[in-house]
Amino acid sequence: MKYSMLDLWVGLFIVVGVAAIVFLSLRVANQTTLRANETYSVTAEFDNIGGLKVRAPVRSAGVTVGRIADIYLDTTTFKAVVKLEIEEQFPFSSDTSASILTAGLLGEQYVSLQAGVDTETLSDGDDIWLTSSAMVLENLISNFMFNAASEGDQ
């Protein structure tokens, strides 16, 4: 009898441990959010998306309002097309702008939406035309080094 109670506690401890590992794995993979709210899709074209990934957050004023649903290359314009899934409770004006920003110095990249002043709102399938591409750290460093080298030659 004594061993069966101990076995029960050990088994319970293992089940809780496995559940915690599964939860943390999903949290790291950014898969824990369940779609409780309806969404609408909009697309935005960027010259360079840096390290932006599918399921990255879409934020406005620091609040997560949606997720990245898809990223693909438009073979006619050779620009990256990002499909955003925005929760319907957040209606953005049709002149909203989208920028790719980084959380912290080396954190994850996300799309930031800045609402405009138009009275018309974005609806499912619309495009965001005002976009600002990601700042790629390697490009900034190479530009700095090139400028420093050209100033040294003078």
> Which pLDDT score is estimated for 9?
87
> Which pLDDT score is estimated for 50?
85
143 inside domain: no
44 and 71 belong to one structural domain? yes
Q: Give me the DSSP letters along the chain.
A: -HHHHHHHHHHHHHHHHHHHHHHHHHHHTT------S-EEEEEEEES--TT--TT-EEEETTEEEEEEEEEEEETTTTEEEEEEEEETTSPPBTT-EEEEEESTTT--EEEEEE--S-SSB--TTEEE-EEEPPPPHHHHHHHHHHHHHHHHH-
66 and 21 belong to one structural domain? no
Structural domain that includes position 20: 1-32
> Which pLDDT score is estimated for 23?
86
46 and 99 belong to one structural domain? yes
> Could you state, in chain order, the average pLDDT of each consecutive group of 10 residues for the chain (154 residues)?
78 91 77 68 92 92 93 94 94 93 82 91 91 78 79 64
> Which pLDDT score is estimated for 7?
84
> Which pLDDT score is estimated for 104?
76
12 and 64 belong to one structural domain? no
> Which pLDDT score is estimated for 140?
75
58 and 125 belong to one structural domain? yes
> Which pLDDT score is estimated for 1?
56
> Which pLDDT score is estimated for 152?
64
- Total of domains in the chain: 2
> Which pLDDT score is estimated for 144?
80
Answer whether 0.75 is exceeded by the pTM: no
59 and 20 belong to one structural domain? no
